[in-house]
Amino acid sequence: MRKITFDIETRNFFSDVGKNDPTLLDISIVAIHDSETDTYSSFLQDELHKLWPIIERADMLIGFNSDHFDIPLLNKYYPGDLTKIKSLDILKEIHTSFGRRMKLDQLAEGTLGKNKIGHGADATNWWKNGEIEKIREYCIDDVRITKEIYDYAILNQKLIFKEGGNLNEVKLDTGKWEEPNEHKLTFTLPF
């Protein structure tokens, strides 16, 4: 199964566009981990045409808050419909199991014993300051954390988050996470 773990950083904030709608934002960078090649890579907005063939060959997209934020935003740029590809939104799975949302940093600290190297607002400010390599490093680090959290959940049927100095478990039923989906996309590939 070819899994693409991904994350997106934006050029602007919801306050800049006047509405809490991810499709109104602009992408600065998309970072991915491709399980087929076991590599991390990133794509600026004007390089997204290089990303489409990779995503179209994926069996599953993995993200954190990706069904609500990343996929709708990325779909704005894609010539087809990315919702046809199976997706696994770790935050959505946590909300379903635990009844509430939490931050990726809480899970990174609790499950992996490390913290993120920045925050989404930092990435948007870095864009405004022209600090592209900082955004790239931050976005790839978020993808690495998301992948490691996914892998941990598959092996252990749980994740751990830190809150108020305490470690707490979120039990997860990952048994169906990697079941195949029949849809394959070829919108940007030559026929």
Q: Where are the domains of the chain?
A: 3-171
pLDDT value at position 74?
96
The closest alpha carbon to 188, from 55, 61, 59, belongs to: 55
H or E element that contains 170: strand 166-171
Superfamily designation of domain 3-171 = Ribonuclease H-like superfamily/Ribonuclease H (3.30.420.10)
Burial per residue of 37-54, b for 16 or more beta-carbon CB atoms within 10 angstroms, e otherwise: eeebbbbeeeebeebbeb
pLDDT value at position 191?
36
Q: What stretches in the chain show pLDDT beneath 70?
A: 182-191
Tell me how long the chain is. Answer: 191
pLDDT value at position 187?
53
The closest alpha carbon to 88, from 19, 191, 174, 165, belongs to: 174
What is the rounded CA–CA span in Å between residue 72 and residue 107? 24
pLDDT value at position 186?
46
